[in-house]
Structure 1
């Protein structure tokens, strides 16, 4: 029920169920597709592994996404990240939560030990006022009953924005950008899920996943709102 007349965060229609945040009509407009459960490439049917990731194998092992970075999802993500719409976290996290549940059926996904949001550099965090990945991870942790650890990894290099950069330039931009907060402590997990908003070339997640590979983590998943 919607006793308080909550409205869709995209089209402003009154919601049948206020807690959902997005009306059925706008939800249906999100472009969802069958995808490779490793690299997220669009495929004719859901599978694990495809020609794209065989040629350029990512550092992680599994991927979960809601859908394509197209309207209305792209607009919601942009407002969430850049227009101080931090309160979109519950609605977007719910969509990702449903995608995770679906991936357990379509891709045989096993849930990880811990959820880790992609960290922001402290300067960017200060300017924005929040880390959007951290907000998403916190919601998912509650619903999945999995701990969220937002202190394990630090972003120590204030990189230029990745938007508009080529894949090669993104990789250079992210060299030595992350490290474990405690250099002396080994990673205590064998399976982790890294949460991010938009997955484009995967350079950020590859850089992060590489750190966990070095620590002997056996299963690295990436959970993202959209694949661009």
Structure 2
């Protein structure tokens, strides 16, 4: 009798715990590093803020990143986003969940009151069939027992791809790209987390965080799989 067994999404080794998605060896191959708790930049040791953030702080307050954009994580993310392998959501969300738990110890992260995700423009989501940030956020909200709102943030501008753009061009690209639904007035959150998959210059997150500030949200965290 054939028995179906869950295998590692990276090396195909049979897993002892199917929900983990990655075997122990592949999990250890994902590099961890010390980083600035404000912007996510690599540091020699973990710190709440770096010199660059002292000069120009991002619009959010704290950040959590699981790793850098390097193999094998970069390959998993590419498969997740561009090869229709949406079923990698649980594995990748677990990586970020473990990073959040670690950041509670290393960066003093306190859990927010709710979770949001970076939205896609509706035509792009239709072409991809899903929003990868939304899939990650749903799992994280479940793991952390937090409310998740998928209908609060909207991307109203069909911006060109950010890939290959300079930091300044990215900022200009994101201006007026998002709006916040009136539904946010139903809540009185003082702190929220904003989930994305890959954080590059942070221009997208900065634009959303600026609008969340205008809604009276005092503390904003950014959670991402990796920082490039």
* TM superposition score normalised by structure 1: 0.96
State the partner residue of 1:52: 52
Gap runs ≥5 in structure 1: none
Q: 1:51-75 CA deviation, whole Å, 9 max, x = no partner?
A: 1211221000000010100000000
Summarize the Cα distance change of 1:88–1:183 in structure 2 as closer, same or farther, 3 Å threshold. Answer: closer
Gap runs ≥5 in structure 2: none
Q: 1:2-43 CA deviation, whole Å, 9 max, x = no partner?
A: x74211111112122221101111111111101111110111
State the partner residue of 2:195: 195
**Cα distance in 1 between the residues matched to 2:12 and 2:56:** 42
Query: Do structure 1's residue 217 and structure 2's residue 226 form an aligned pair?
Result: no
**Cα distance in 1 between the residues matched to 2:27 and 2:145:** 25
Query: Do structure 1's residue 83 and structure 2's residue 62 form an aligned pair?
Result: no
State the partner residue of 1:15: 15
**Cα distance in 1 between the residues matched to 2:184 and 2:89:** 34
State the partner residue of 1:121: 121
Q: SS at 2:182's partner residue?
A: coil
**Cα distance in 2 between the residues matched to 1:113 and 1:121:** 26
**Cα distance in 2 between the residues matched to 1:41 and 1:170:** 18
Q: CA deviation at 1:185?
A: 3.8
Q: CA deviation at 1:129?
A: 0.1
State the partner residue of 2:164: 164
CA RMSD of aligned residues (A): 1.4
**Cα distance in 1 between the residues matched to 2:226 and 2:129:** 22
State the partner residue of 2:104: 104
**Cα distance in 2 between the residues matched to 1:184 and 1:83:** 33
**Cα distance in 2 between the residues matched to 1:83 and 1:175:** 29
**Cα distance in 2 between the residues matched to 1:192 and 1:183:** 15
